[in-house]
Every structure is written in structure tokens, then in C-alpha cells.
């Protein structure tokens, strides 16, 4: 059967649906920032940015950008009613003090045991760790948002990370353009697959076993 991979906006919308009421959430630089544009209107969710913002809103409309109000990726954002901005030292204290419920981070690789590599691919690449290590060990739940395969068709979910690590055993859930996968003591467990994508095909693309969780929900 054929299937169409999710777009980045669709992955972001799927993550947003899973964030519970009252959660304090950090959205990492890159793809994860898209999640802020899809949060349910009927839930109060507090978005945090490590440069010192709490109560961040979605991206501003074109022409209404305020470059004095940006996230950690230097992208213009909005501030919701009651939101605040503060020194980044206080922001990192919030991260390291385990006051964040969820951190949604991008990744170059995630291992079957939840190791995260997202700041350097080695070689001539310019490393950019930012606050990723603090978020990886400080957030109560680390969710990864990424495309399932590299541009050359290799799985980003691996038996063992070959890139420099950001954190060891920190990732609890992976959202890709193919599936939602939890990292459990049993191994990788897929709770959602794209319609038309079989576990056998997901296993082939991933290169390591992926177990079903039971009923399969459409993305």
C-alpha cells in the first residue's frame, strides 16, 4: 500500500494534540517551534524559551514582527496575556530545576535506549548545543520531533548513536513523519502509524525492531 509522509506542520499539529492542560513546555530550535502554532485553543499551555520567555504565543502575522521579542532561535514570536520575559540565567534555573513538563527537541539521532544526539554531526559541522543539554536532563519528559530518515535514506533511530551525545537515556517519545514511537523497557513501541504503512515496512525503514502497542490510530 502507498502512504504519504506527514509534513512538518502535520507533525507539529500531532504533537500539539498530545500536550496536556497546564503543561509548561519548551520548544527547541528548528522544527519544534512549529508546535506553538497548533496548540489547542481550549487548553492553557505555557510555552517557555531558554532566552527568557514564559507565556510565548504563536508566530506573529506578517508585518507585525517585533524583533525585540524573539525565541531562542532568533525568530519573532508573540507574548500571551500574562506572559513574561526575564534574564536567561533565571530561565536556565527553571530548566535545570525540573520545572518544565515537556521539552520538544529536534535530533540527528535517537537510540533505542533514549540517548539523544542533536548538537553536532562531527567533522566540519558547526556545533550548536545551546540549551539542549540542560533541557535534555532537566525536562520531566523529552519528546523528539524529526523526520524519520536522513536525506540519504538512513534511519535517525539507531541502535547506538554515532554522533556526540546531548543526553543519555533522556528521550521518552519520538514523533516522525511516519510514526509516533515510545521508548520503553520493552524497546521501541509504535502507537501511531501513517495509514497504509505496515509495521513490517516501518521495521525495514528503521532497521531495528519496532513493536506494536495494540490498536493503531491514524495520524
Q: Return the CATH class of domain 10-217.
A: alpha beta
Percent of residues, the chain, with pLDDT higher than 70: 95
Q: What is the DSSP letter of 190?
A: E
| Per annotation, catalytic residue among 9, 21, 44, 50 | 50
d(CA 31, CA 33): 6
Q: What pLDDT, on a 0 to 100 scale, did the predictor assign at position 1?
A: 53
CB 54 within 8 A of CB 44: no
Write out pLDDT tens, residues 43-96. Answer: 999 999 999 999 999 889 999 999 999 998 889 999 999 999 999 999 999 999
Q: Are 1 and 201 in contact (CB under 8 A)?
A: no
pTM over 0.85: yes
Residues 133-175: tens digit of each pLDDT: 999 999 999 999 999 999 999 999 999 999 999 999 999 999 9
Active site residue 50: yes
Reduce the DSSP state of residue 206 to 3 states and report it: helix
Residue whose cell numbers read 503543561: 23
Other CB atoms within 10 A of residue 119 CB: 21
- Domain residue extents for the chain: 10-217
Amino acid at each position: 500500500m502507498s502512504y504519504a509522509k506527514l509534513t512538518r506542520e502535520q507533525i507539529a499539529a500531532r504533537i500539539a494534540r498530545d500536550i496536556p492542560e497546564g503543561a509548561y513546555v519548551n520548544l527547541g530550535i528548528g522544527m519544534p517551534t512549529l508546535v506553538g502554532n497548533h496548540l489547542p485553543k481550549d487548553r492553557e499551555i505555557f510555552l517557555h524559551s531558554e532566552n527568557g520567555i514564559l507565556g510565548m504565543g504563536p508566530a506573529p502575522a506578517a508585518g507585525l514582527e517585533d524583533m525585540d521579542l524573539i525565541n531562542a532561535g532568533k525568530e519573532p514570536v508573540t507574548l500571551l496575556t500574562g506572559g513574561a520575559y526575564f534574564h536567561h540565567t533565571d530561565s536556565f534555573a527553571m530548566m535545570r530545576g525540573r520545572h518544565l513538563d515537556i521539552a520538544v527537541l529536534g535530533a540527528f539521532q535517537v537510540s533505542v535506549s533514549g540517548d539523544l544526539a542533536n548538537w553536532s554531526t562531527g567533522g566540519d559541522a558547526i556545533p550548536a548545543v545551546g540549551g539542549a543539554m540542560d533541557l535534555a536532563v532537566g525536562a520531566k519528559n523529552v519528546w523528539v520531533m524529526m523526520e524519520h530518515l536522513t536525506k540519504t535514506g538512513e534511519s535517525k533511530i539507531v541502535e547506538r548513536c554515532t554522533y556526540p551525545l546531548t543526553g543519555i537515556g533522556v528521550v521518552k517519545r519520538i514523533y516522525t513523519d511516519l510514526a509516533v514511537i515510545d521508548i520503553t523497557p520493552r524497546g521501541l513501541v509504535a502507537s501511531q502509524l501513517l495509514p497504509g504503512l505496515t509495521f513490517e515496512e516501518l521495521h525495514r525503514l528503521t532497521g531495528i525492531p519496532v513493536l506494536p502497542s495494540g490498536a493503531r490510530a491514524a495520524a
